[in-house]
Amino acid sequence: MMMRRLRRLILPIGLSLLILLSIGLSMYIWTNPSRYERESKVSTASSNSTIATRTIDDVYLPTQLVHTDAKGKQTLLINKNVSLVTQFKEQISKWDARSISKVRVTSARSYTALLNGQDSYVLNFPDSVTVSMFNTIFSQNLQSYRAAKFSRIVIPINDTSHVYLLNDSQHQIYSVRLKRKSLTRMQKILAAVSVKSIPVVMTYRHNATYLDYTQPVKMQQYSYLLNKLAASQLANRLLDADGNSSVTVHNRKHEQEYTTGSYKRMTVNTKQGTVKYEDYSDAGNQRQLTLTTQLRKSYNHLVSIGVPMDNIRYYGYDTTSNSVIYRSYVEGFPIFNQTENGDVRVQMTTNSLERYYFSLYSLQVPVPTTGKQQSVTLPSTSTVLKKLVAAGYKENKLGSIELGYHWSKNTSSKLVIDLNPTYYVYYNGAWRTYTSMLSGS
């Protein structure tokens, strides 16, 4: 009798425990600080399968929100639970952009005055976009200056009818006249206790704006489960889109080469997990490629590749190679070292040659940090610069110094990737960690 009762109890108790475990894991993933980078809209785009991806307006969002107060003090605003930039996007999309005009700017000083204007918010893009992309991102319909480039949006708090689009490279300013502009909801969101303010200063020099961290910065470490694309499925998607082509595979040392005829080739570096795809089928045909065209078409190519895009954001445009660059982001900070260049590149040339360069690996879901130390305090930007100069680096040869995450393999599990915060310095055409530069490695 006793044994029967025990057997009857074991099944419901076991099921209850499994349900509680499932709820606990779901709550952890949902409340994990880095989850908001994974919020996405779903669309389908694949020859062989359905792929969940971010829409173009999400991929091309700004990545930073800077506040300048009434005394001119600047802070980078971050909320670990929700993307403040996305919240701003929702508000701007409700405003009605009626017209755009070019503001006459006589000097870099007057440009800087607006950039650092008191009582304002600035939304920073990693690189230039166009007014046409502004329409796409913020659901607007400006008709003039659609090809004009800009990389910052200045939103004056006390001006109820304007925002300003700023182009660093030529210190150009475009004034957008608005109706229904209101910051009431955003200011309530930004007043929340969970919003973190990091002291910064935006400096405009040599036709570029730099974000410098004026005090030591405490940054969170993260770990993620690793996702890997299957090279064979990828080859079928890229080389055999219609299902009628014959894909040939050649195996070499640390390389697999997939080809279709003599026009399409996909090369996989099996040691590094990187992929280079080339399409020569339309090579030789001339085409016009504006920046807007490049940004839109490269997004379509990114979707067609099938790279998981939960964390992917636009990072920049390389004029030398005609390549649009994307990176993975966590909490608004870019991830480096995922590939040799640490990025995804889509190249489209004027003679119709197309190349993609990306990694088979991507982030899947966040997991508890495995190390004892879950946060790192990094020095101010000026301290980093002084150390580099003291180590023998010429200041005029040091490019941007950017706060980001270093992608590294977890020592305990091959299925986990660690993201460690650090400064990256653009030096001699490549991004390097400041610690590796100081150690000479």
3 state SS for 219-232: EECEEEEEEECCHH
* Angle 371-375-381 from CA coordinates, rounded to 5°: 135
Does residue 209 share a domain with residue 72? yes
Predicted TM-score of the model (pTM) = 0.86
End position of a domain, from candidates 215, 232, 259: 215
End position of a domain, from candidates 361, 394, 428: 361
Using one digit for the tens of pLDDT, what is the confidence trace for 397-407?
A: 899 999 999 99
Q: Report the percentage of the chain scoring pLDDT > 90.
A: 62
CATH number for the domain spanning 269: value is: 3.30.310.160
Predicted confidence (pLDDT) at residue 246 exceeds the cutoff of 60 = yes
Please give the Cα distance from 71 to 196 (Å, whole number). Answer: 19
Please give the Cα distance from 166 to 134 (Å, whole number). Answer: 12
Does residue 301 share a domain with residue 177? no
Q: Does residue 245 belong to any structural domain of this protein? A: yes
Note whether 173 and 102 are within 8 A (CB).
Answer: yes
Does residue 385 share a domain with residue 293? no
Using one digit for the tens of pLDDT, what is the confidence trace for 296-324?
A: 999 999 998 888 888 899 999 999 889 99
pLDDT of residue 50: 41
Does residue 105 share a domain with residue 144? yes
Q: Share the mean pLDDT of the chain.
A: 86
Does residue 340 share a domain with residue 281? yes
Note whether 44 and 54 are within 8 A (CB).
Answer: no
Average pLDDT over residues 25-37: 44
Please count the other Cβ atoms lying within 10 Å of the Cβ belonging to residue 114.
19
* CA dihedral over 63, 154, 379, 377, signed as positive or negative: negative
Does residue 130 share a domain with residue 109? yes
- Tally of structural domains, the chain: 3
**Which range, 19-23, 282-286, 345-349, is most confident?**
345-349
pLDDT of residue 153: 98
Q: Does residue 311 belong to any structural domain of this protein? A: yes
Q: Does residue 242 belong to any structural domain of this protein? A: yes
Q: Does 242 or 1 have the greater pLDDT score?
A: 242
Q: Does residue 82 belong to any structural domain of this protein? A: yes
pLDDT of residue 338: 63
Does residue 164 share a domain with residue 80? yes
Does residue 319 share a domain with residue 268? yes
Q: Does residue 196 belong to any structural domain of this protein? A: yes
pLDDT of residue 45: 36
Q: What is the DSSP letter of 37?
A: G
Range of the domain at 98: 59-215
Does residue 276 share a domain with residue 148? no
Average pLDDT over residues 107-118: 94
Q: Does residue 18 belong to any structural domain of this protein? A: no
Q: Does 237 or 213 have the greater pLDDT score?
A: 213
